[in-house]
Amino acid sequence: MALLLTTVTIIIVAGVLLQITLGVGRNLQAMVVTPAPSMTRSNRVPSLLALPTVGVASVPQPVTVLLLGTDRRPGEEVIPRSDAILVVRIDPASRRVAVLSLPRDLWVPIPGYDHNRLNAAYLWGEHDGPPGTGMALARVTVGEFLGLSIDYVAVTDFQGFAALVDAIGGITVEVAQPLVDELFPTLDRRTTTVSFSPGPLLMDGATALTYARIRHPDSDFERGGRQQTVLIAIAQALRDRGYFANFLAAERLTGTLANYTQTDMPPERMLELAWALRDLDAAAVERYALHEPEVIFGVDNDRFAQTPRPGVIAHYTRLLLYGHQ
């Protein structure tokens, strides 16, 4: 009888594990969009949009991932701009992760579209090409601007960001300074007053999204730093939950992401990186961001557009790739 019960238990557990694994695989595959190999606007862009080839080894090779957070609001059908732009360098072998925030108003060359603000690349790609072209154009734009190869892109929107935070039970964020914004833009395009007091704060999805978006009290540069803080808090919350809890919740978490997220990273690559960084200390993540004195404001009639001062971008590219060596 004991042997029978043990056998039945093993079968049930194996069935649950198989169900979770299959569900996670389906959810990850649902996020994948292969960027279009060509675009209608320019005949010189297609060669730049070829998918990178990254070898699969026992220890994954270093990768550079472009993270885009769009400003799409619930119920909107218009093509959004990329409100948050972060470049993440991951080296599983050395267990090094570095993140660089780029201001959305940087004035950059966009292949096939002359110059414009950096956050326009995703919009124009989605507008003029088939699904995935926005990711592809953003990748080549950021890659050429920084002088490095972007391996993958991941895009999510306001709802996806908030839903993920809620799905993991909230995050704890150390608010560095008091913040009050009397003109904070709501998701229904009105305004309201929001405020944060210094100190640790347990945030649900809506609160974390507000904290990541607020900028009127200081600047877009400081907002980029807050976006990094929230991203790292999510990573820390996942680590604190532990392997077993994360595995049991994997199907639900990836299902949440699948509803709001697109990427060109193959599912097997996602799993490789997730496993390689499963016990990464979030506090060890290197954080880099441009500062206001490092840019010049104003391009023609656009007084908010920003051009980096000489040497600034090369400096941050070196930090992203190699750190303080």
The tokens describing 149, both together, are 């190869």
| pLDDT tens-place string over residues 270-290 | 888 888 888 888 889 999 999
Q: Is the dihedral of CA 80, 102, 66, 54 positive or negative?
A: positive
**For the ranges 89-93, 177-181, 248-252, 280-284, which has the lowest average pLDDT?**
248-252
Please, which pLDDT band fits residue 39 given cuts at 50, 70 and 90?
very low
The mean pLDDT value for 42-61 works out to 44
| pLDDT tens-place string over residues 285-298 | 999 999 999 999 99
pLDDT score recorded for residue 49: 39
| pLDDT tens-place string over residues 215-231 | 888 888 999 999 999 99
The mean pLDDT value for 208-214 works out to 93
Helix ranges (DSSP H) in 70-150: 120-128, 133-146
Q: How much is the mean pLDDT over the chain?
A: 83
Between CA 188 and CA 176, with CA 220 as vertex, the angle to 5 degrees is: 100
Most confident of 9-18, 101-110, 214-223, 278-287: 101-110
Between CA 283 and CA 285, with CA 284 as vertex, the angle to 5 degrees is: 95
The mean pLDDT value for 16-42 works out to 58
**Stronger pLDDT, 6 or 164, i.e. the higher one:** 164
pLDDT score recorded for residue 1: 46
pLDDT at 248 exceeding the cut of 70: yes
Please, which pLDDT band fits residue 34 given cuts at 50, 70 and 90?
low
CA distance to 109, 111, 173, 276, per residue, from 144 (Å): 9, 9, 34, 28
pLDDT score recorded for residue 55: 41
The burial class, CB within 10 Å (0-12 / 13-18 / 19+), for 16 is exposed
> Where are the extended beta strands (E) located within the chain?
63-70, 82-91, 96-101, 107-109, 115-117, 152-156, 171-175, 179-185, 191-196, 199-203, 262-263, 286-289, 295-299, 302-308
For the structural domain made of 32-155+265-325, what CATH number should be given? 3.30.420.590
pLDDT score recorded for residue 239: 87
Topology (CATH) of 158-259 = Aminopeptidase (3.40.630)
Please, which pLDDT band fits residue 322 given cuts at 50, 70 and 90?
very high
Please, which pLDDT band fits residue 58 given cuts at 50, 70 and 90?
low
Using the 8-state DSSP alphabet, how is residue 32 labeled? Answer: B
Please, which pLDDT band fits residue 249 given cuts at 50, 70 and 90?
confident
pLDDT at 18 exceeding the cut of 90: no
**Stronger pLDDT, 6 or 202, i.e. the higher one:** 202
Q: CATH 3.30.420.590 spans which residues of the chain?
A: 32-155+265-325
Q: CATH 3.40.630.190 spans which residues of the chain?
A: 158-259
Report the distance separating Cα 23 and Cα 28, nearest Å: 9
